[in-house]
Amino acid sequence: MSPSLDLQKDKTIMGHDLPTPEPESPNRPRKPYRFSTLCATVENPAQKDQFGSSSVPIYQSSTFKGVGGEYDYSRSGNPTRSHLEHHIAKISSAAYAFAVSSGMAALDVVLRLLKPGDEVIAGDDLYGGTNRLLTYIKTHGGVVVHHVDTTNPESLLPFIKDGKTAMVLLESPTNPLLKIADLAKIAADVKERAPNAIVVVDNTMMSPYLQRPLEHGADIVYDSATKYLSGHHDLMAGIITCNSDDLAKQMGFVINSIGNALTPFDCFLLLRGVKTLAIRMDRQQTTAMAVAEMLHRLGFKVHYPGLADHPGREVHERIADGYGAVLSFTTGDKALSERIVGATRLWGISVSFGCVNSLISMPCVMSHASIDPATRAARGLPEDLIRLCVGIEDPADLLDDLERALLEAGAITVSAGADEHAYVRATIQRQGAAISRAVEKLAFNENAARPLENREWFVSAPGKVILFGEHAVVHGVTAVAASVDLRCYGLTSPRHDGKVGLNFADVGNFYHEWVLDDLPWDSVTSVDLGNEHPEQLDQRLVDAITKRALPESIEANPMAKGASIAFLYLYMTMAHGGERPSFNFSVRSTLPVGAGLGSSASFSVCVATALLLLHQRIDLPGLPPPTREPHNDDPGHIHVSHRGRRAIPHTIAEEANRWAFVAEKVLHGNPSGVDNSVAVFGGALAYTRPGFARKGGMEAISGFKSLRFLLTDSRVPRDTKRLVAGVSAKKLEEPEIVGRILEAIQSITDEARRALSDPELSREALLSALSALIDENHAHLVSLGVSHPVLEDIRTKTIEHPYRLSTKLTGAGGGGCAVTLVPDDLSDSILDSLLQSLSKKNFVPYLTSVGGSGLGVLSPHDPANYGDGPGSEPLRAAFEEKTTAELADWAAKRGRWMYV
């Protein structure tokens, strides 16, 4: 091993005390050098330059000659890097320092001290890259991560467990909310309760000049030296410091092993930058205070520990020597913040900080964008937050440029009766309202107000049936699902009174109106045009809707409650440009609601499509000629195949499917995505859940043949979550038995896919094969414990003479619905007899077919459809009055439907 990694030897040369000139006068002993002197004086007594160079030479060499010398290979040690590491240790109150390729590389080295099963306590306001790396080790490294509010030391105590807690990761001040953690108190608490835990501090915001966490009990400190230590944004570097021999040895081994040590040239640049650290930061934080005071005086909420009203100021002054040069503030409106950032000229729009040049950014769309909006909201990170990183420019120029940007954006205005340079905060309407509609349009690059929507939008989507593979699909087995000719319908009707109404005629005849401005807009994180909803739901918005928007009466109607939350969530999240369409939305269904036939998915698709149209996030194409692809004998039914269209980015179908999946998440928590995909695209598909041995994803089953099925609603509700959890528990208890069942179901779905896709297979042979597979699949589901006496009663009825039909449960089981394959040659009299027999037992049978069209929209291009043509009438009254039996026929005759 290179001598530079022989830590016992290096300890003698890496101390931070700089020798003072001798001899000292007994009458006036020398005092220790102050920090700025230490910064400017790069002196390592153990590494004197043979030529007396005042600047450390760059040893731009990867190898060194000889055997047993001090250096052999620059990955393991380099003289320029040794000078840098000695210098950093000296100014950091550290025995050891390591220089690596970036701040994130430094954190990576530190996190490699962890092992699977370890627990980490981290702050809830962290740099986005830190959060991303913690998420990675949590997902792939078996490490448990607890995010807590580190501004309150008490909040850490429940999570500190001796033998479990391996690391506590802190920032103070945090980035970007400038929260303060009491490093000394937290370190003491951790050492008392979990002596072996490592306290790690990201000190980038302060640098060693303003804060040295090792002096307060931290075990490891790391900095992104790209920031203040370098100061010029001309290199990437990370620094790690510690006082523990053991930790230094472990981290030195990791750095040498993975090879992320800092290059000689970058070490030279960093040494040069550190020399001016103190003088740069003195100027930067003086200006930062002036900026913070100006914004505070104008009435903005400013996050800066130097302000008297900062909640952590007292703690910060105890553990730090200055307030730093980063501050942030909120405006109350995201679009306003965007305009302010865009209006600056001297402040560069960029991520990062610590440079001699001043920078401005919006963390939620830049440095912290990798944290999903729901998590940002849960951690109190405002979407309208602006972060300012103050440089060394003239303070007057920086203040003037920021003031002009605030004025241009409309955030401040001239004070009444004052001179032209006296400004006050402009009045902004709260709860998400814009400063003015015209300015909002400008922010979203919309040059004119949207026209009021006076048309009714009529949409529909099919339900679905899982033919094979239900329950097993959760464990990686392929499921086969197909659309059914039972549909959900949604109709929007315009109103312009600032309200939105919701009517679920088939779910307890629920109706409610909301005043749009009374909705919890302060909790919404809108998805901008062209962007997709994040993977995770915005739980803060879900909670706000649940607690603040729903009427008390809805508690007696849980189905209406869930559907209302999903509707409002999509409506508010899609809103953009300050527009909030006012309308009624009525929903009807020929599907049995809650029977396991995808009624929630078809509802979600209808909601998503209607709101996409009303929020003008999609545009429908022109209507195809009525002579193309007529459906049966109805020349007005236009079927537009989705083949070829699905590959086009942001088509109506793809966009509707993405948003319908969001609604499904609101309703069900963790849906597979099968139901909404079938409801959008129709036909049949095979779905395999990602994360298992088989390739995950969805695949359309080409050539799917129309099949007749009898769907029988048992009218017994089922608890899907409980049933799914039951199968999972059974798998844990009897892994071999359940494993064999799952493999058998996989074989069934594979065989079914082959049969359904085989153009050479006769109709008779197909029905015979499917019949046998249905019986076999149901037997396996019974073995998994998800059937129900009523489902077995339905099955017994259908298999007895004279019917002899194949029946299985579908969906979650435990009640819900049963599906029965109906052969082509079954006589009408026998079929009628079966329907009557099931009805007498209080079941509700539906005769239908599978594999039909997906999402449908009544064409807006035909004036007769929407009240624009002569003699036409609005649809809403008739739509809400039709019986369920009349609904499908009536809808089909309204005009030309466009289908996916």
pLDDT band at 851 (very low <50, low <70, confident <90, very high): confident
State the pairing for strand pair 238-242/96-100.
Answer: antiparallel
Regarding whether 249 and 108 lie in a shared domain, the answer is: yes
Last residue of a domain, one of 398, 416, 434: 416
Do residues 102 and 172 both lie within one domain? yes
Residue 322 lies in a domain: yes
d(CA 302, CA 300): 6
Rg, Å, the chain Cα set = 34
Q: At 340, which helix (H) or strand (E)? A: helix 334-343
Q: What is the CATH number of the domain that holds 349?
A: 3.90.1150.10
Look up 227 and say whether it is catalytic: yes
pLDDT > 90? residue 50: no
Whether 79 and 206 share a structural domain: yes
Structure tokens at 883: 């019986």
Which of these is catalytic: 179, 212, 227, 808? Answer: 227
* Pairing mode, strands 856-858 and 844-850: unpaired
State the average pLDDT for the chain: 84
Q: Is residue 18 part of a domain?
A: no
**Residues 496 and 516 occupy one common structural domain:** yes
Determine, yes or no, domain membership for 209: yes
Residue 873: predicted pLDDT: 63
Which CATH number belongs to the domain containing residue 774 in this structure? 3.30.70.890
In a domain, 742, yes or no: yes
Q: What share of the chain is helix, strand, coil (3-state, %, to 5)?
A: 40, 20, 45
The residue among 421, 387, 115, 102 whose CA lies nearest residue 262 is 102
* CATH at residue 135: 3.40.640.10
Half-sphere exposure of 728 (CA within 13 A, CB side): 10
Which CATH number do you get for residue 486? 3.30.230.10
Are residues 303 and 247 part of one domain? no
Same domain for 218 and 95? yes
Mark whether 587 and 731 lie in a shared domain: no
- C-alpha to C-alpha distances, 129 to 104, 262, 366, nearest whole angstrom: 7, 20, 11
- Examine the domain organization and report whether 228 and 313 are in the same domain: no
Query: Contact, 494 vs 454, CB < 8 A?
Result: yes
Asked if 127 is an active-site residue, the reply is yes
> Looking at the whole model, is its pTM more than 0.95?
no
Which residue, among 621, 703, 661, 700, has the nearest Cα to 898 in the 3D structure?
621
Q: What does the pLDDT average to over 82-104?
A: 95
Q: Which of 72, 125, 182, 202 is catalytic?
A: 202
Question: Is residue 273 over pLDDT 90?
Answer: yes
Same domain, 180 and 132: yes
Residue 283, both tokens: 């100027």
Number of domains in the chain: 4
Query: Catalytic site residue 894?
Result: no
Catalytic member of 75, 112, 132, 876: 75
Model pLDDT for residues 161-199, shown as the tens digit of each residue: 999 999 999 999 998 899 999 999 999 999 999 999 999
Q: Are both 261 and 358 inside the same structural domain?
A: no
| Domain of 379, in residue numbers | 278-416
Q: Give the distance from CA 868 to its chain's centroid.
A: 42
Lowest-pLDDT range of 112-116, 221-225, 550-554: 550-554
Cis peptide before 630 (omega within 30 of 0): no
Residues 408 and 324 grouped into a single domain: yes
Asked if the structure places residue 673 within a domain, the reply is no
Residue 724 has pLDDT above 90, yes or no: no
Within 8 A by CB and 6+ apart from 734, the residues are none
Chain segment 484-497, per-residue pLDDT in tens: 888 999 999 998 88
Q: Which residue has better confidence, 435 or 755?
A: 755
Q: pLDDT at residue 105 above 90?
A: yes
Structural contact between residues 474 and 721, judged by C-beta atoms closer than 8 angstroms = no
Q: Point out the catalytic residue in the list 71, 96, 127, 228.
A: 127
Question: How many angstroms separate the Cα of 171 from the Cα of each of 125, 391, 566?
Answer: 8, 22, 37
Averaged over 579-600, what is the pLDDT? 86
Q: Which long-range contacts (CB under 8 A, 24 or more apart) does 506-512 make?
A: 506/587, 506/588, 506/589, 506/593, 506/884, 507/557, 507/559, 507/560, 507/563, 507/593, 508/556, 508/557, 508/559, 508/560, 510/554, 510/557, 510/560, 510/564, 512/551, 512/554, 512/564
The verdict on 185 and 284 lying in the same domain is no
